[in-house]
Amino acid sequence: MHTHLTLSCVAALWIAACSAAWAQAPDADAPPAPTKGEAKAQRDFKMLDFNGDGKLSRTEVQLFPRLAAAFDDADTDRDGYVSYEEVRAFAAKHREQRDQQRAAAQAAAAASSPRP
């Protein structure tokens, strides 16, 4: 009887552990959860998208000089609107350029500093 009870407990624990693992396993088709920065970008985009059409027009960004100035660079398909995907691509390109500039500045500073 004791062996049967022990096997039943082990089986129940194994099933519970597998169920928990399956519940936590990410769906292969589901996109990854957004980072804090990505979530903020999505909220900001929706805030600027006054008419809710899923894209930004020149009119919607005209109150924001930095966005208005970057509009043509971000509008890669030249349709007169900037989609969220275009904003993401533009932001990634901007971050890469910024990181390269920082690395170059750090390398220049290291090269010009006196060596001990």
Nearest Cα neighbor of 50 from 64, 36, 39 is 64
Residue 6 maps to a domain = no
Q: Judge whether 87 lies within some domain.
A: yes
| 16 lies in some domain | no
Judge whether 24 lies within some domain.
no
- Give residue-wise pLDDT tens across range 49-98: 999 999 999 999 998 898 899 999 999 999 999 999 999 998 888 889 99
Angle between the N-to-C axes of helices 65-74 and 84-112, in degrees from 0 to 180, rounded to the nearest 10: 100
- CATH of residue 79's domain is 1.10.238.10
20 falls within a domain = no
The residue range of the domain holding 66 is 36-111
- The answer to whether position 102 is within a domain reads yes
Task: Provide the domain count of the chain.
Answer: 1
Tokens of 84: 């969220």
pLDDT digits (tens, 9 = 90+) for 21-48: 444 545 567 777 878 888 888 999 999 9
